[in-house]
Structure 1
Amino acid sequence: MENLLGRIVAGNVTDQNETDYFVQVAGTTFRLAKSEIKKPLRAGATFRGFAYENEDHQMAMTRNAPDAQVDHYGWGTVVRTQRQLGVFVNIGLPDKDIVVSLDDLPDMMELWPQQGDRLLIALREDAKHRLWGVLADTDIYQAIAQPAKANMQNANVTATAYQLKLVGTRVMTDHFELGFIHPSEREREPRLGEELHARVIGVHDDGTLNLSLKPRAYEAIDDDSAMLLAALEHSQAGHLEFSDKSSPAAIKAYFGISKGQFKRAVGHLLKARRISQHDGELWLVQPEESTTETTPDTTD
Structure 2
Amino acid sequence: MIKVGQFNFLKIASQSARGGLLEAGELGQIFLPAKQLPAQSKVGDRLSVFLYRNSHDEIVATTQKPKVEIGGIACLKVTSVTKVGAFVDWGLPKELLIPFGEQTQRLKIGDTPIVFVYLDNSDRLCASTKLNKKLVAETQGLKSGDAVNLIVGDKSDLGYKMVVNQKFWGLLHFSDVVQPLQFGQILRGYIKNLRPDRRVDISLVPMGLPANSDSLSQKIMQKLSSEGGYMAIGDKTPPEQIYQLFGVSKKRFKSELGKLFKQRRIIIETSGIRLTGKKPDSVKK
TM-score relative to the length of structure 2? 0.48
The structure with the largest alpha-carbon Rg is 1
